[in-house]
Amino acid sequence: MAALNDEVNDMPGLIDVHQHVVPQIYIDEMAKLGIVGSGEGRRWPQWSVESTLELMDRLDIAATVGSIASPGIYFGDVAFTRRIARPCNEAVADIVRGHPKRFGGFGVVPLPDIAAACDELGYLLDTLKLDGVCLLSNVGGKYLGDASFDEFMAELDRRAAIVFLHPGYPAKGQVPIYDAMKGTLELTYDTGRAITNMLWNGTLSKYKRIRWIISHAGGVVPFLMFRLTKYDREPGVREKNPEGVEVCLRRFWYDVAQSAVPPSFRALLEIADPSRIVFGSDYPFARFPEDDLIETRDGVRAFEGFDATLRAKIERDNAVTLFPNLAF
C-alpha cells in the first residue's frame, strides 16, 4: 500500500470532485442544534484526513475536492449561520493547505443573508483560496433561482465562480410521507427542483459565467428532458432562456456520484457535454461509502458507451480543466 503522503504516483489517479469533509467544528456546532448526522437516523460517518488519504492511496485516487454539504448550515437562525460559516471554511482551508496536491475544497456561505454570503464568498475565494462554493438546492425551502438570491448570483457570475450544487432535503414539513428511505428519491428530486426553478426564472441564462457542477448525474433532470424542453415554448419563460433549455443544461458540469449504471450514463450522455462529466463518489456519505466508491469507479470503466479517451477525461482530465491546481 502506498505511503500516506502528498507525492505524485507514477500513474496519475482519479480526481474525485464529490467527497465530503466532516470537520470537528462542524460536528460540534451541529450538536448544539441536536443534529448528529446527515439525516434519516444516520450519524456522522467516521472521517479524518488521515483515513481519507489512506483510502485514496489504496484506491489510486490522486485528489479529491471536499465539501460540507447536506444538511448545510442554515436551520432558520440566520445569526447562527453567519457565525459558523467562517470557522467551517477555515477548517476546510486547513485541510487543503495541509495537503495541497491531494485536496481541494468548496466553502459554504451564510445564505439566506445575501450581504453576508457575498462577503463570505470573497473571503473563502480571495483569502482562503478555496476552489469554489457548495450550494444546497434549497435554503430553508426557498430554491435556487428565487429572485431573492439574484444579488448573490450576480456576485458568483462576476467572479466566474465554481458552484457545486448538492441536494438537500425539502424543508421541514414538505417531505412526503412514505415508508422507503427518503434519500433515495428526495435528494435527486431536490436537484431537479433547483434546476427547474433556475430554468423557469432564467437564472442560468442571466448568469452564464457561473461554473456549475451538478451532483449525482443531474438527479432526475435527464429523465425530465421532454417536459423541460417545453419551456422553450412557454410564453414568459422562453424569453428568459433565449438559447433554449438544452443549451443551458449542456453548460453544466455533472459528476457521476451514485449514478454509475448504464441507464443513468446513457441518459446523462443525452444531455451533457462529454468534456464536462467528472468523477464523483459521495464518499463518505454514500450509503455504503467505500463499496459505492469502488462500484462507481468500476462502473465508469465498464460502461461500453465510454471509450478509453472519454474514460480518461471523466476520471481525471475534465476535472483538471476546473481544478488546475490538482494537476500534476
8 pLDDT more than 50: no
Amino acid identity at 29: E
Least confident of 66-70, 173-177, 274-278: 173-177
Q: How far apart are CA 185 and CA 259, in angstroms?
A: 13
* pLDDT (average), residues 117-137: 98
Cα 93 to Cα 105, 118, 191, distances in angstroms: 7, 18, 26
Question: What was the pLDDT predicted at 37?
Answer: 87
Question: What was the pLDDT predicted at 292?
Answer: 97
Burial status of residue 326 (CB atoms within 10 A of its CB: 0-12, 13-18, 19 or more):
buried
Q: How far apart are CA 224 and CA 210, in angstroms?
A: 23
Question: What was the pLDDT predicted at 244?
Answer: 97
Domain positions in the chain are: 14-326
* pLDDT (average), residues 56-70: 96
Residue 222 in grid coordinates: 435527464
75 pLDDT more than 90: yes
38 pLDDT more than 90: no
9 pLDDT more than 80: no
pTM score: 0.95
Q: How far apart are CA 98 and CA 108, in angstroms?
A: 19
**Over pLDDT 90: what percentage of the chain?**
89
* pLDDT (average), residues 252-260: 97
Cα 118 to Cα 85, 123, 191, 252, distances in angstroms: 12, 9, 23, 22
Question: What was the pLDDT predicted at 4?
Answer: 46
Question: What was the pLDDT predicted at 58?
Answer: 96
Question: What was the pLDDT predicted at 12?
Answer: 76
Q: How far apart are CA 55 and CA 273, in angstroms?
A: 30
211 pLDDT more than 90: yes
pLDDT, one tens digit per residue, over 128-185 is: 999 999 999 999 999 999 999 999 999 999 999 999 999 999 988 788 888 898 889 9
Q: Which residues contact 264 (CB under 8 A, 6 or more apart)?
A: 217, 222
252 closest CA partner among 299, 296, 203, 285: 203
Instruction: Report helix, strand or coil for 313.
Output: helix
**Over pLDDT 70: what percentage of the chain?**
96
Question: What was the pLDDT predicted at 3?
Answer: 42
Residue 286 in grid coordinates: 454514500
Query: What sections of the chain are H helices per DSSP?
Result: 24-31, 49-58, 78-98, 114-122, 150-158, 182-201, 203-206, 225-228, 245-250, 262-271, 289-302, 308-312, 318-322
256 pLDDT more than 50: yes
The third-level CATH classification (topology) of the domain covering 14-326 is TIM Barrel (3.20.20)
Question: What was the pLDDT predicted at 6?
Answer: 55
